[in-house]
Amino acid sequence: MNSVLKIEKKYADSITNLALDTLKNNKQALIFVNTKRSAEKCAEEISKKLKQSNKELTDLSTQSLKAVSKPTRQCKRLGICLEKGIAFHHASLHAKQKDLIESNFRKGTVKIICCTPTLAAGLDLPAFRAIIRDVKRYTNRDMVNIPVLEYLQMSGRAGRPNYDTYGEAILVSSSDGQKDELFEKYVHGEPEEIYSKLAVEPVLRTYLLSLISTKVINTNDQIINFFSKTFWAFQYKDMNQLKITINKMLKLLESWEFIQFTDNKFRATVLGKRITELYIDPLTANQFVINLEKASNQIKPIALLQLVCNTLEMRPLLRVKLKEYDDFQEEMSRYEQYFLTDEPSMFDPDYDEYFNSFKTSLMLNEWINEKDDDYLMNQYDIGPGITRMKIETANWLLYAAYEIARIQQKQDILKEIIKLKYRLRYGVKEELLPLLKLKQVGRVRARKLFRANLKKLSDLKKAKPELLAQIIGSKKLALDILDQVGVKIETNNNKGQLSDFSQRKV
């Protein structure tokens, strides 16, 4: 189309004007920005300009606040935006909130989503307009233009097959000069070549070990032959360089005792085989092997957490911010006596990441001491979505650590790892673990029961149904819990008062 789109310039901010224009035409838009903060701000600005709200939106807003037990400032901000049918969307949101926003955008309740690239790929969430505000993004100390591929991903969200005959992808420039540049680079530009990632050492060592332990390739010739047929080799053509890298990785795997070379064949050791099954980076596995060797049954949760946080799999780690530096330094000096890993020197380039791994493990440590999302956001500047992601990864790594410790016959720490895994999954102190066997009981309800002196399942068996219902805040749930511990209750009628409970011995 060659026609020029006329947009009313009611406000100074062109994004807001575009959003309002979209709404005026009764259409929907996705607005892509380059930071989480911008996404929130952008949504907020647009929603401020809108007055109308309806019950559907108010309900939606309330629902979004219920995603976590104590709403964070991020949740509240989202709630305010949703009241106007506007949302922001990025990785820090709780999965429930993301689902809510996505499904309500599909339904048409939510009209505008300001988002980071989360919504660019993978998800099928088309809109009439895809508005791309930022084409620059910060990547390790530099602002760089995003790849054309990514621009295409974002603009590809425009146009809903079943609703519109066409869509509009709008790339916003900040000046006339930039306009031509953007047009050349993105609109007329060719997407980048795709490059093989196999040459990256963590990837290469993972696949080498995997191929050897599944016996796909075992001899030197087979190995070279296999890799010479990969896209990597096709792309770089330099088989000599390839051989050097492969040999380096083989030596490494051998020195870590994940593979052995006998009778002209590479074979995976028991440990190596399990590491492949666990799908962790052999480097991580080796760190676990070395450090778990030092562990005793006196090991502290923070030590295990720090061990798993100090891996490539956990990246990106929480960053220690400038302001926090001294505080975390002090905090770390309190805990480092328990650590299994060796602390690099302060002048070592690895020190920052080590420090970050400590911050991350401290966050997880707070989680297992029942700190809520609101607290974690204020203290660590981390949203529910990221928290859950880190918990899940840490949990997987802890399982890997468990398996390695098992093979190492470190019986004394196995129990500690299992306990920690459980605590991590539910975000509870050790004392609540017995109660978590119950379905429908998580960290919040378990804590309520514990406070009421119902600390074990046997305590629950003796609990008065009325009291239990009061503690848990639901009669139905109280009955369900009693049923789970083997106490059958009959009610006189379903709508009855709590006093309608009658207990029957079983």
Partner DNA sequence: GGACGGTGAAACTTCAGGTTGCCTC
Partner DNA sequence: GAAGTTTCACCGTCC
Does 137 bind DNA (CB under 7 A)? Our answer is: yes
The set of residues, in sequence order, having a beta carbon less than 8 Å from that of 151 and lying 6+ positions away, is: 132, 135, 171, 186, 189
The set of residues, in sequence order, having a beta carbon less than 8 Å from that of 478 and lying 6+ positions away, is: 465, 468, 469, 471, 472
Does 277 bind DNA (CB under 7 A)? Our answer is: yes
Two tokens, residue 453: 């002196």
Which H or E run contains 86?
Answer: strand 86-89
Cα(298)–Cα(419) distance, integer angstroms = 13
Does 174 bind DNA (CB under 7 A)? Our answer is: yes
Using CB under 7 A as the binding criterion, the count of chain residues that bind DNA stands at: 53
Binding window for DNA (CB under 7 A); candidates: 212-220, 330-338, 345-353, 386-394 = 386-394
Q: Which residues within the stretch 395-454 sit at the binding site for DNA (CB under 7 A)?
A: 395-396, 399, 402, 415, 418-419, 421-422, 433-434, 436-437
Does 205 bind DNA (CB under 7 A)? Our answer is: no
Question: Strand 136-139 and strand 142-145: pairing?
Answer: antiparallel
Does 329 bind DNA (CB under 7 A)? Our answer is: no
Does 91 bind DNA (CB under 7 A)? Our answer is: yes
CB atoms within 10 A of CB 176: 7
Name which position in 27, 84, 90, 205 contacts DNA (CB under 7 A).
90
Does 153 bind DNA (CB under 7 A)? Our answer is: no
Binding window for DNA (CB under 7 A); candidates: 1-9, 56-64, 257-265, 382-390 = 382-390
Helix (H), strand (E), coil (C) string for 121-188: CCCCCCECEEEECCCEEEECCEEEECCHHHHHHHHCCECCCCCCCCCEEEECCCCHHHHHHHHHHHHC
Does 107 bind DNA (CB under 7 A)? Our answer is: no
Cα(493)–Cα(281) distance, integer angstroms = 58
Binding window for DNA (CB under 7 A); candidates: 228-236, 240-248, 296-304, 381-389 = 381-389
Does 143 bind DNA (CB under 7 A)? Our answer is: yes
Name which position in 55, 188, 323, 462 contacts DNA (CB under 7 A).
323
Two tokens, residue 37: 């903060």
Cα(216)–Cα(226) distance, integer angstroms = 9
The set of residues, in sequence order, having a beta carbon less than 8 Å from that of 276 and lying 6+ positions away, is: 209, 210, 213, 214, 268
The set of residues, in sequence order, having a beta carbon less than 8 Å from that of 154 and lying 6+ positions away, is: 30, 32, 117, 120, 130, 132, 169
Tell me whether residue 236 or residue 399 sits nearer to DNA (CB atom).
399
Binding window for DNA (CB under 7 A); candidates: 47-55, 185-193, 212-220, 315-323 = 315-323
Does 381 bind DNA (CB under 7 A)? Our answer is: yes
Least CB distance to DNA at residue 115 (A) = 8
Interacting residues with DNA (CB under 7 A): 34-38, 41-42, 90-92, 95, 116-118, 122, 136-139, 141, 143, 150, 174, 197, 277-279, 313, 316, 319, 321-324, 381, 385, 388-389, 392-393, 395-396, 399, 402, 415, 418-419, 421-422, 433-434, 436-437
